[in-house]
Structure 1
């Protein structure tokens, strides 16, 4: 059995994938198929994609159906960084054009922690190991 996180975007999946794989080391796009002419979604948008972030696999699509929901902070990606530099870099990039839910600081549960919602609405909790 394998469990993979799946994201449903509405037209900006490729931009999100490129953004995320640029932030985390050991990340790559594994496959990407696009809608063609006369298919359900807008031509060129992501029909299905698989990518890795630091070796962890994710999948996503661009939904051609508009939904009354999006991502919420009640579900987030929890990233344990090996170094303070990794944490600071990821926090800066993910919070740019996004929103800070908890600023980078020392908390009782972590010597350095921050929580952001990025420009695509994905929530990230970042902590120092």
Structure 2
């Protein structure tokens, strides 16, 4: 797996216990890079970054993670672990689209859609799912088109609209699956007032090989209503948060003494400049 695109969860002061919790819950996991700022874990070969500081917002269901299992027993096992200290968003049950499905928010506020189905349809175990709701409702199709044009090796794999029986806008997307540089992502619209929207507690990290790549993603994602934030972070025109970082950043932060200098330089930047980080 390429792993150049992956999610980041801001869980202040809880990243060590959360890393252990997620590895215990899902299995097939290990801790990768660690620093005072982040712990990077791998679950079923996929990277997830846990961030110790940064945004003041907290996770909400506008971004959830679809977890695909072929065995209903695995889905149930994950549910039983995640529901402890968490809450049910949709009951673990049989639905028309899955023999065993449930939507649960864990004790850290992170939402998981636990789905039993064929891995031939979704070979990736964990897929971020973006809910376009509130003032973004109805923008899912446009956003998918936009993202698949920004990233190379991208494709739209399937789009399902609401039916009249779903009691939502029949022009809106009920479920869509697409790939960004091979990374499977999903999206949906919801016209109901959920009281939440995209925030920076969950962001999508894009590791870049060189400055040219950073510049290209930064320009495309901040234009037409996007916003530069700080330290390699930006918000796109839909409110989704991205971290556009050099692939070598982890190595630069490995040595504690150098890491302080690198972080000092990084904190002064909006778009990251690789040569300035290397010279810090």
The superposition leaves residues 26-80 of structure 1 with CA deviations (integer Å, 9 ceiling, x where unpaired) of 1111100112446422122111100011101011110131221111111100100
Higher relative contact order (CA 8 A, sep 6+): 1
Q: Which residue matches 1:121?
A: 239
Q: Which residue matches 1:76?
A: 203
1:4 aligns with 2:127: yes
Equivalent in 155, 165, 169 of residue 42 of structure 1: 169
Alpha-carbon separation, structure 2, partners of 1:8 and 1:25: 23
The superposition leaves residues 80-104 of structure 1 with CA deviations (integer Å, 9 ceiling, x where unpaired) of 01222221111011111111111xx
Alpha-carbon separation, structure 1, partners of 2:155 and 2:183: 10
Partner of 1:78, secondary structure, is strand
Alignment of 1:1-129 (within 5 A): 1=69, 2-9=125-132, 10-37=137-164, 39-96=166-223, 97-102=225-230, 114-129=232-247
Give unpaired runs (5+ residues) of structure 1. Answer: 103-112
Of Structure 1 and Structure 2, which has the larger fraction of its residues in strand? 1
Q: Which residue matches 2:82?
A: none
Partner of 1:43, secondary structure, is coil
Q: 1:17: Cα distance to partner?
A: 0.5
Alpha-carbon separation, structure 2, partners of 1:40 and 1:51: 25
Partner of 2:152, secondary structure, is coil
Structure exhibiting the larger radius of gyration computed from Cα positions: 2
Moved over 4 A (4+): none
Of Structure 1 and Structure 2, which has the larger fraction of its residues in helix? 2
Aligned residue pairs total 119
The alignment's TM-score, normalised by the length of structure 1, stands at 0.85
